[in-house]
Amino acid sequence: MLKDALNFLRLKVQDVEHYDKHPMSSILLIFILLEIPTYFIDGSSIIEIISNVAITLLVYLFFIYWIFRKVKTYSFILACKFFGILLIGISIPLTALQLIGTSFEDLTIVLSSIIFMIYITGISTSKAMGVSKTYALSGIVLSIVALIILFIIYFMIEMMILNV
């Protein structure tokens, strides 16, 4: 599974059916194991970790919904497996950057990481799902907007709780 995830970084994308062999539980476990160290480096609490992972999964489901508006030939579980392995592939270099001490406060690193994630996701989705690059990239942009909105709502709720 990790080989498939790393192949996304090299843009060696297989057909969607190729990713059906991986169990969903393993994909979720690896994703969570990749995400948790980054939160402990930042000194986040368990509640922050759970809420951030939940928000990430909600945006991930929105992106799957967006792609399924055009592609109706694959099952929802198969799409979840494909995008789960894609998410693992994208998380590996970002987690490695944080573990070696790269600061994401530098705007150049943040912007290049965002462009990297958008590019890999757009090209991989376009190749594997058979949608246009424009449609895949528009889904990514909408997902990023949804992510920003969800985090703003989360931070507003957190501020209300802390100020009580």
The number of residues making up the chain comes to 164
Confidence of residue 158 (pLDDT cuts 50, 70, 90): confident
pLDDT for 101-146, tens place per residue?
666 566 777 788 788 888 888 888 888 888 898 998 998 889 888 8
**Residue appearing with tokens 């090299």:** 10
Write the DSSP symbol of residue 69: T
pLDDT for 47-66, tens place per residue?
777 777 788 888 888 888 88
Q: What tokens does 18 get?
A: 């190729």
Cα dihedral: 87, 92, 95, 97 (round 10):
-130
**Predicted model pTM:** 0.74
Residue range 90-98: mean pLDDT, rounded: 77
Q: Classify 12 in phi/psi space as left (phi over 0), alpha (psi -120 to 50) or beta.
A: beta
